[in-house]
Amino acid sequence: MLSFLWDLASFIVALGVLITVHEFGHFWVARRCGVRVERFSIGFGKALWRRTDKLGTEYVIALIPLGGYVKMLDERAEPVVPELRHHAFNNKSVGQRAAIIAA
C-alpha cells in the first residue's frame, strides 16, 4: 500500500511539473507578444494559493492538479476597455496567435 501511495505521489508531482512547463510556454510567448495574461493556473477547482503580480497576472495553484491553463485578455470572451484592446489576444497578428498556441 505504501508503494502505491509513493507511486501516486510521484506521478502527481511529475504531472504537475510537466503541466507547469507546458503552460509556462504559452504564458512566456503571450507576454513577449504583448498579450495581457490575466491568470496562470496550475490545477482546477478551488484555489489553494494565489498571488497577483504588478502587471495584473494572477498566479494560482488549485486543488485538482490534473491540468492547467493560461487565461489571456480576449474581446471574444468578455468586453475589453478601449485602452487595453491592443493587449488582447484576438487583436494580435495571425503569426503571433499561432506562436502563442504552438508554444
Is residue 63 within 8 Å of residue 43, measured between CB atoms?
Answer: yes
Active site residue 58: no
Instruction: Give the SS3 label for residue 88.
Output: coil
Catalytic residue among 23, 58, 75, 83: 23
**CA separation for the pair 68, 49 (Å, rounded):** 14
Active site residues: 23
